[in-house]
Amino acid sequence: MSTLREEIKVLSGNRRRFFLLRVTGMAPEQARQIVGITRGTQNTWLQNETFVELHRKIDDFTRDYRVEAIQLLRRDNQLEAVLLEGKIVQKMKDEIDSGDYNLIRSNLAREVYAKLITDLDIVPQVQNLTWEQRIGVLMQAPQQNQLPEGNTVEGEIIEQEG
């Protein structure tokens, strides 16, 4: 069985994004608005034989590849965010080098800087333990203030005379 990625490898840019949104089950009008294209642009795409061929299979793709389409869109969005963050960091570096501070004074720059600093700082890894692991830790921990065996009866402490 092939993958959606293989099926739509001929599409790129807005066509690809529009098509992926349609495969997720989104209506054409809503997909056009998100991608930022006009009905005329979509009509132009529908004159392209390859696009039309794929477009005819949207219902089948939605049935077979809906989850993959969502994953591809998410990955594309993450990639765009990383690239945008890289541009912002480069702009901040250029401003530091030139001494002409515009972006660095903005809230956006402060957020990016704060995020990068926390990403670069070493944060201790905290491992969440399962209940079984927690019980194991408790069983291995040294018991303090334990009474010698035989000195308790039904929750009452019996003092030894002597």
Structural domain contains residue 73: yes
Residue 30 CA, distance from chain mean position: 23
pLDDT of residue 135: 74
Name the phi and psi angles at 40, rounded to 5: -60, -40
pLDDT of residue 123: 44
Top pLDDT among 108 and 82 is at: 82
Structural domain contains residue 155: no
pLDDT of residue 132: 76
Tens digits of residue pLDDT in 96-116: 788 777 776 677 766 766 666
pTM of the entire structure? 0.54
Distance CA 46, CA 53 (A): 9
Structural domain contains residue 27: yes
Structural domain contains residue 130: no
Rounded CA Rg of the chain: 30
Structural domain contains residue 101: yes
Number of domains in the chain: 1
Query: Which residue range is the domain that position 110 belongs to?
Result: 4-120
Structural domain contains residue 64: yes
pLDDT of residue 57: 92
Structural domain contains residue 96: yes
| H helix intervals, the chain | 4-7, 13-23, 28-35, 39-45, 49-56, 58-98, 107-120, 131-140
Tens digits of residue pLDDT in 35-65: 999 999 999 998 999 999 999 999 999 999 9
Nearest alpha carbon to residue 11 among 76, 67, 66: 76
Structural domain contains residue 137: no
